[in-house]
Amino acid sequence: MASSGPLKRKLPPQSSNPDPTSKRAAKRVKTFSARSILAQASDKALSKNGDLDVSAFVKAREFEIKAIAASMGASKNSLSTRAFQQLPKNLRRRTASHNVKRMPKRLRTRAAKEVHRAHKQGL
């Protein structure tokens, strides 16, 4: 059986969103930036002869501690999902956000905490 030409492969399906900043890429960037922690070099605390400038060293460590606390808060807020988002689309009800007892039992305690926190913040 002689071939009439080179075999052609099917092209992969083109995505409807060719934009490189798609939702997945944006979430990846958000996750990466939330997990990164800023740091300062402690080279300025050391002099050329090896003496340690304590105040500069303490300021650098203070900056790092503040950066760790800020990144922990950022990662907690940016990577979390709400209890209502864990439900399948057909179970998401408007009343579930007002009545926690309409939620599945496995999510009720988490939803109650979220509702309490939202009311506490005045949302």
What are the residue ranges spanned by the domains of the chain?
51-80, 82-123
- Quote the Cα angle for 54-57-61, to 5°: 135
- The answer to whether 90 and 59 have CB atoms below 8 angstroms apart is no
In the predicted model, what is the mean pLDDT of the chain?
75
- The pTM score is 0.42
* 12-52: pLDDT as tens digits: 555 555 565 577 787 777 777 777 777 777 677 777 787 88
pLDDT (0 to 100) of residue 12: 54
* 79-102: pLDDT as tens digits: 677 777 778 777 777 666 678 888
Per residue, the 3-state secondary structure of 57-117, as one string, reads: HHHHHHHHHHHHHHHHHHHHHHCCCCHHHHCCHHHCCCHHHCCHHHCCHHHHHHHHHHHHH
